[in-house]
Amino acid sequence: MSTLTDHARDIATRAHRGQTDKSGADYIDHPRRVAERTRHYAAADQQDAAQVVAWLHDVVEDTVVTLDDLREDFPEDVVAGVDAMTRRPGEDGDDYYRRVAAHPLARAVKQADLDDNTDPARTALLDEDTRARLARKYAHAREVLAAG
């Protein structure tokens, strides 16, 4: 693991401290799993940067960390990847996924993110209505990402 990856993991761990996912598990487990899965999607020369983006992919959207904070410690390609993965207020889902698809690092991380969000071991912990709603949402997200 690179020094930048370690630093990203530390920032994410601090930023997400106390947060839980829909099933009540520690939220930081999600970025960890996404970082592990990212290797399946990122180009060989982007593996390290994709790992960093994976650890940080929810910190701007879900915590007090800002893009400017990240710019102090990370290269612009990483910050741009996190920015591409950060939803904008009022943004349409299709617009969001098209923006993600246009950025190679964000696209790789989002594919890993979707894999984690649809992992049967995780979705089995959710109620049936939530499981069905998320299945539709994430299937559509994959379609939009694939269309680019």
Model confidence over 30-81: pLDDT tens digits?
999 999 999 999 999 999 999 999 999 999 999 999 999 999 999 999 999 9
Residue 109: CB atoms within 10 Å: 32
Amino acid at 14: R
Three-state SS for 6-21 is: HHHHHHHHHHCCCCEC
Q: Distance (Å, rounded) from C-alpha 16 to C-alpha 109?
A: 18
Q: At 1, is the pLDDT very low, low, confident or very high (cuts 50, 70, 90)?
A: low
Beta strands in the chain (DSSP E): none
User: Which CATH number belongs to the domain containing residue 138 in this structure?
Assistant: 1.10.3210.10
Amino acid at 103: H
Active site residues: 61-62
Number of domains in the chain: 1
| pLDDT tens track for 68-118 | 999 999 999 999 999 999 999 999 999 999 999 999 999 999 999 999 999
pTM passes above 0.85: yes
Q: Which domain holds residue 99?
A: 3-147
